[in-house]
Amino acid sequence: MDFDPMVMDAEPQGPSVKITDATPHSVDFTLQSVDLSFANSLRRTILAEVPTMAIDLVEIEANTSVLADEFITHRLGLIPLNSKNVDDVVYSRDCDCEQYCELCSVTLTLHARCTGDEIMRVYARDLVVDPLRQNQWVGNPVITDPEGLGTVICKLRKGQELRMKCIAKKGIAKEHAKWAPTSAVGFEYDPQNKLRHTDLWYEESAEKEWPKSKYADWEEPPQEGEPFDYDAVPETFYFEVESVGNLEPDAIIQQGIKVLQQKLAAVIRDLADGEGQTNGINGHGYDAPRSPEDVGMDGAWGQDQGYTTPFGNGNGTQEPQQPWGGSATPYGATPYGQQNGWANGR
Amino acid sequence: MNAPDRFELFLLGDGEKKCSEAPDTRTANSSVFTFNKEDHTLANILRAHLLKNSHVIFAGYKIPHPLFATFELRVQTDGSLTPKEALVNTCRTLVGDLEILSREFTKEFELRKMVMGDAAATENK
């Protein structure tokens, strides 16, 4: 339990997983031998950055229903679409096509007209998927109810009609929640609250008034009068990943891991790339004062003139820079003349 | 109406780099890394894992403005390695750890599938 700065050396085997429950649409697992930041980053990527398919563009040919076009469009967007092997589909913005094509999208058509006297419901199953697509799963509406209907899109009265072409694209939930692979990700640690990361409000006794977590029995309850362990860190994390149905729960986690790896790889690439040039021109240390030529020649540093904010020359936004930002002095003192942003900002 | 496009949260702009380094001239062996189109997801994990390296004296990050998807990570080392080396090493270790996690998860999940038996397996299709 001791916090050891060399934890990395102490556990060469790395993170470990124990799956406690799995259903076709959810998986519960325990993550061990990782730290809080690692578990939390995994949670965040799963929630927001796992790519899926969702209807993004709708061409409406006819809509005589009571719902407005954009209302139906929004509803269509929220229908979960199967996203198995979504890696086969490219992002529309990366595709060479004009607007969309079969490489970067899946077309679904909806044509419904009420002819009877009864009120008719239009369901997700009524979406017809164009066979021109990257693989056989991508773009199929997710239908999980026993009747095989899927979600209700709209209700139609006699004579009303819906006719539209929907373009489903690949995206991530950071852009719009319709691309979310999960409806919820449960994340819990320290069910006994030994670390006191939560302060439980109570009238008489927190133990009596607060329900116990289902994971509470899995960890040792604190001993009576046990001293607080200041060095303790959370070590076991209980995840409950619930899929919307577009991806299988294990795929969501694998994709989440992959996305996080790609993020890290991008950092390595950017930093390691510059390494050759930077070392070549610049020698080594950053602490040695560098001549203006050096700065000019070196792409990596030259780009960022000391502490300019990436979002335009400082006005109010400069303020939070201060804690580290004595930097105006060594730089602004103009070895190379241009006092961008800094001097003006004051 | 004036809301920025949501994709600006994760798509690098033209000529924008994911990560760039600037030396912190006030102290030795310290650098500030500016990350574009990233958030706490990456920032916090890097910060926490840099601190596990005993040669890293300081690692901290801030998001200068909540409306802009950037963060700044300041790293100071004891001089036996440069902040950039420390950061790259950390990234490499993390990629390795994630790889292990991925393998472990696959293993456990396959095991689980077998235990669940045919009923669940067919349902899983």
| DSSP assignment of A171-202 | E-TTT-GGG-SEEEEEEEE-TT-TT--S----
Those residues with Cβ within 8 angstroms of residue A231's Cβ, 6 or more apart along the chain or in another chain = A1, A2, A3
Q: What is the pLDDT of residue A286?
A: 36
Q: What is the pLDDT of residue A221?
A: 87
Share of chain A above pLDDT 90, in %: 69
Return the CATH number at B78: 3.30.1360.10
Q: Is residue B8 part of a domain?
A: no
**Mean pLDDT (whole number) for A254-275:** 90
Q: What is the pLDDT of residue A298?
A: 39
**Mean pLDDT (whole number) for A292-307:** 39
Task: Categorize the per-residue pLDDT at A282 as very low, low, confident or very high, splitting at 50, 70 and 90.
Answer: very low
Q: Is residue B7 part of a domain?
A: no
Query: Which structural domains are found in chain A, ordered by start?
Result: 1-50+209-215+227-282 (3.30.1360.10), 52-179 (2.170.120.12)
Q: Do B26 and A303 touch (CB under 8 A)?
A: no
CB contacts of B109 in chain A (<8 Å) are 19, 22, 27, 250
Distance CA A87, CA A82 (A): 12
Q: What is the pLDDT of residue B123?
A: 55
pLDDT at A140 over 60: yes
Say which DSSP state A296 is in.
H
- Tell me which residue in B20, B44, B99 faces A303 most closely, judged by beta carbons: B20
Shortest CA distance from B36: residue in chain A: A310
Q: Is residue B6 part of a domain?
A: no
CB contacts of B99 in chain A (<8 Å) are 261
Q: Is residue B3 part of a domain?
A: no
- Tell me which residue in A16, A176, A309 faces B104 most closely, judged by beta carbons: A16
Task: Categorize the per-residue pLDDT at A146 as very low, low, confident or very high, splitting at 50, 70 and 90.
Answer: very high
- Give which of B34, B39, B101, B112 to mutate to test A binding, by max A Cβ within 10 Å: B101
The alpha-carbon gap from A29 to the nearest alpha carbon of chain B, in Å, equals: 9
pLDDT at A2 over 90: no
Q: Is residue B85 part of a domain?
A: yes
The alpha-carbon gap from B74 to the nearest alpha carbon of chain A, in Å, equals: 9
Q: Is residue B104 part of a domain?
A: yes
Domain encompassing residue B70: 17-124
Q: What is the pLDDT of residue A207?
A: 87
Given a contact cutoff of 8 angstroms between Cβ atoms, the answer to whether A95 and A104 are in contact is yes
- Tell me which residue in A7, A40, A176 faces B52 most closely, judged by beta carbons: A7
Which carries the bigger pLDDT value, residue B112 or residue B43?
Answer: B43
Structurally, chain B folds into a number of domains equal to 1
**Mean pLDDT (whole number) for A57-86:** 96
**Mean pLDDT (whole number) for A277-297:** 38
Q: What is the pLDDT of residue B69?
A: 94
The pair of three-digit structure tokens given for residue A251, joined into one six-digit string:
């795929």
Sheet holding B19-23: strands in order across? B19-23, B30-36, B70-77, B56-62
Backbone angles phi, psi at A167, to 5 degrees: -110, 115
Which carries the bigger pLDDT value, residue A327 or residue B119?
Answer: B119
pLDDT at A47 over 90: yes
**Amino acid (one-letter) located at A137:** W
- Reported ipTM: the value is 0.91
pLDDT digits (tens, 9 = 90+) for A72-89: 999 999 999 999 999 999
Q: Which helix (H) or strand (E) holds A170?
A: strand A161-171
Across chain A, mean pLDDT equals 81
**Mean pLDDT (whole number) for A133-152:** 93
Q: What is the pLDDT of residue A213?
A: 92
User: Rounded to an integer, what is the distance from CA B58 to the centroid of its chain?
Assistant: 17
**Amino acid (one-letter) located at B9:** L
**Mean pLDDT (whole number) for A208-221:** 91
Say which DSSP state A141 is in.
B
Q: What is the pLDDT of residue B110?
A: 92
Q: What is the pLDDT of residue A294?
A: 39
**Mean pLDDT (whole number) for A193-218:** 92
